[in-house]
């Protein structure tokens, strides 16, 4: 590590500690050449995940897109910290796949699972866009997956006729 003051490489670490979020190590260093102190941060380098979209194009994975989609689906039902933690779990599960490229359907599936644990209605809203619902039967299947059991036809028609929500995130 070069000293930012004099450019010398002769320095030593005076103090090390984790940052508040645990994502980096903060190190205070002392330059033996110019007697100045400076701070460095050490972070683990993670290879980026690429998302293969339905049209076969690739784009870098963006946690913010997942967060935005989850927030749109949830509305104000859940606090921000809970949503951030869920988005981090989605990213961790995608990284566990061990692949550089993941299909957008895998991202959407992980988001859907996270939403099911946070708010079943939000999961239904997200699924209606992610899975491109076109019929009452699509809603019926998703509601049964959510454990709602038998759903009256009138309720399904009401759901199917409701205005389409804005896109809740990555497909």
**Which pLDDT belongs to residue 121?**
82
Q: Provide the percentage of residues in the chain whose pLDDT is more than 70.
A: 82
Q: How far apart are CA 43 and CA 26, in angstroms?
A: 9
Query: Which uninterrupted H or E stretch holds 68?
Result: helix 63-74
- The residues facing 40 across adjacent strands are 27
**pLDDT, average across residues 52-59:** 91
Residue 48 burial (CB < 10 Å; 0-12/13-18/19+)? exposed
Joined together, the tokens standing for residue 126 give 């997200």
**pTM value?**
0.57
13: which 2 tokens? 């670490």
CB neighbours (10 Å) of residue 69? 24
- Does residue 46 register a pLDDT over 80? no
pLDDT band at 16; cut points 50, 70, 90: very high
Reported as a single tens digit per residue, the pLDDT across 149-158 is 444 454 444 4
pLDDT at 163: 46
Contact predicate 117/138, CB 8 Å: no
The token pair at 152 is 């009256």
- pLDDT at 169 > cutoff 60: no
For residue 43, the model assigns a pLDDT of 79
Are the C-beta atoms of 91 and 101 separated by less than 8 Å?
Answer: no
Evaluate whether 141 touches 161 at the Cβ level (below 8 Å): no
> What's the chain's average pLDDT?
81
pLDDT (tens digit, 9 = 90+) per residue, 21-33?
Answer: 777 899 999 999 9
Hey, where are the domains in the chain?
Answer: 11-42, 50-161
Percentage of the chain exceeding pLDDT 90: 30
User: Is the pLDDT score of 117 beyond 90?
Assistant: no
DSSP code for 167: P
Residue 6 pLDDT level (bands cut at 50, 70, 90)? very high
Tokens of 27: 């190190």
How many angstroms separate the Cα of 112 from the Cα of each of 6, 12, 144?
52, 48, 14
* Average of per-residue pLDDT across 65-86: 85
Q: Name the strand (E) or helix (H) holding 112.
A: helix 104-118
E strand spans, the chain:
11-18, 25-31, 37-42, 50-52, 58-60, 101-103
């Amino acid at each position: 590590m070069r000293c930012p003051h004099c450019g010398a490489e002769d320095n030593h670490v005076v103090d090390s500690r984790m940052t508040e979020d645990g994502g980096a190590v903060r190190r205070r260093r002392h330059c033996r050449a110019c007697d100045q102190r400076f701070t460095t941060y050490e972070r683990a380098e993670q290879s980026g995940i690429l998302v293969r979209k339905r049209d076969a194009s690739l784009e870098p994975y963006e946690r913010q897109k997942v967060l935005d989609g989850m927030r749109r689906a949830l509305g104000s039902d859940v606090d921000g910290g809970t949503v951030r933690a869920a988005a981090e779990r989605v990213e961790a599960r995608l990284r566990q796949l061990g692949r550089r490229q993941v299909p957008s359907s895998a991202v959407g599936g992980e988001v859907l699972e996270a939403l099911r644990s946070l708010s079943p209605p939000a999961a239904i809203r997200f699924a209606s866009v992610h899975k491109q619902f076109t019929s009452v039967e699509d809603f019926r299947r998703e509601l049964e997956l959510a454990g709602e059991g038998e759903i009256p036809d009138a309720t399904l028609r009401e759901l199917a006729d409701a205005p389409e929500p804005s896109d809740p995130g990555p497909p």
